[in-house]
Amino acid sequence: MVVNSVTKRRLSDCKILIVDDQSSSRLVLSTLLEDIVACDAVKSGQEAIDYCANYRPDLILMDVVMPEMDGHETTKILASNPDTATIPFMFVTSSNADDEQAKCWASGCVDFIEKPINACTVRNRVKSYLQHKLKSDFLERLIYIDRLTCVYNRHYLEDHLPNIIKDGTRNNTATSLILFDVDYFKKYNDHYGHLEGDNCLFKICQNVSKYLLRPMDCIVRVGGEEFLVILPNTDESGARQVANRLLGCVNELHINHSDSEFKHVTISAGVSTKLGNENKSIDYLMLEADRNLYVAKNAGRNRVVCRDGKISSASAEISFA
Ligand SMILES: Nc1nc2c(ncn2[C@@H]2O[C@H](COP(=O)(O)OP(=O)(O)OP(=O)(O)O)[C@@H](O)[C@H]2O)c(=O)[nH]1
């Protein structure tokens, strides 16, 4: 998962993906745009889908007519996957018929470019869209990112968790939550000072973010030194593995904490899971995670408790698998 930041991105930080079966069209578009943004190019809808499974372009320029999978079908598949649904796309089309234009807009494109392309229009249309996107992305980060830790804040949780849970029900997939809390943090602040405390929270969040491997996994600061990790499409055993990995990665930071029996900073975690066909509310899931966190604290801290009540202590094993 990408580590968030509230710094402003520039046009030159953006990346676009050009999807066109004709190598000449790919070359023309990338040559026209490469001094404005970084460009990657692929030659089919399937390659675009594979690319987006690993990378998040700021914009896709999508040819409409392609063999095997056309631009409309490709964007439909991207839109049906929550991981790729928000990637904006512009169609590049040689048809300016009314019904074709209507079809492009109906599929959710942000704009379209007519073929044969006009160099000046393509450059300015892409530039103007990306400038607008950079501003709205920045505003969204200001609203949703906690300034101290650079992870999501409660506003994000309130606006997005209901949809994540609904997606899980709709797709009949499990969703898990990990609620974690820094152990003996009051003592840490008392001993090392509040500024060091802030610093410690930042380090933990940055490190934990690196260990959330799927693009849809995210971490939210729910308050003080308490954080929620949201894991869409993850069952209880998967969540346990992630939670143990997070405990391991905080242990591996080796932040001194002389007033803890572990002698370094640790976290405790409670997990809750909603199976695709279960009807559990967000409040219920939060309570379940909170109750399990409480059990983990009482069992000695630096451990994970899932809904089956099983306790696992921090595994020092850290795996990126
Ligand atoms: N430095 C710093 N401290 C914070 C922040 N938010 C909350 N805290 C402190 O975190 C501490 C939490 O203390 P407690 O809730 O007693 O929990 P704890 O000491 O971690 O004990 P256990 O959770 O039982 O292991 C309080 O002293 C809060 O002031 C923050 O943003 N920065």
pLDDT of residue 5: 60
Ligand 1 pocket: which of 183, 185, 199 to mutate (most atoms <8 Å of CB)?
A: 185
Residue nearest to atom 8 of ligand 1 (CA): 224
CA of 287 to the centre of ligand 1 (A): 20
Distances (CA, A) of 24 to 16, 31, 60, 70, 120: 17, 10, 17, 18, 18
Active-site residues, by number, are: 225
pLDDT of residue 94: 87
Instruction: Compute how many other C-beta atoms are within 10 angstroms of the C-beta atom of residue 56.
Output: 14
Q: Which atom of ligand 1 is nearest to the CA of 223?
A: 6
CA of 257 to the centre of ligand 1 (A): 14
Q: Please tell me the chain's helix, strand, coil percentages from 3-state DSSP, rounded to the nearest 5.
A: 45, 20, 35
The identity of residue 52, as a single letter, is: C
What is the reported pTM? 0.78
Residue nearest to atom 14 of ligand 1 (CA): 186
Report how far residue 315's alpha carbon sits from residue 97's, in angstroms, rounded to the nearest whole number. 61
CA of 199 to the centre of ligand 1 (A): 13
Q: Which atom of ligand 1 is nearest to the CA of 190?
A: 27
CA of 264 to the centre of ligand 1 (A): 15
pLDDT of residue 96: 78
pLDDT of residue 140: 87
Q: Which atom of ligand 1 is nearest to the CA of 183?
A: 25
Nearest Cα to Cα of residue 236 among 154, 319, 304, 156: 304
Contact 207, 253 (CB under 8 A): yes
Distances (CA, A) of 76 to 18, 80, 271: 17, 6, 34
Tell me the sheet residues that pair with 229: 178, 219
For residue 152, what are its two tokens? 């999501």
Distances (CA, A) of 214 to 211, 244, 266, 271, 319: 9, 16, 24, 18, 14
Structural domains in the chain, sorted by start: 11-144 (3.40.50.2300), 154-313 (3.30.70.270)
In order along its 321 residues, the chain shows pLDDT tens digits of 444 566 788 999 999 999 999 999 999 999 999 999 999 999 999 999 999 999 999 999 999 999 999 999 999 999 998 789 999 999 999 887 888 889 999 999 999 899 899 999 999 999 999 999 999 999 988 999 999 999 999 999 999 999 999 989 988 999 999 999 999 999 999 999 999 999 999 999 999 999 998 878 999 999 999 999 999 999 999 999 999 999 999 999 999 999 999 999 999 999 999 999 898 999 999 999 999 999 999 999 999 998 766 666 654 333 332
Report how far residue 265's alpha carbon sits from residue 302's, in angstroms, rounded to the nearest whole number. 9
Report how far residue 292's alpha carbon sits from residue 154's, in angstroms, rounded to the nearest whole number. 21
Residues with CB under 6 A from ligand 1: 148, 181-187, 189, 194, 197-198, 201, 224-225, 297, 301
Instruction: Compute how many other C-beta atoms are within 10 angstroms of the C-beta atom of residue 115.
Output: 16
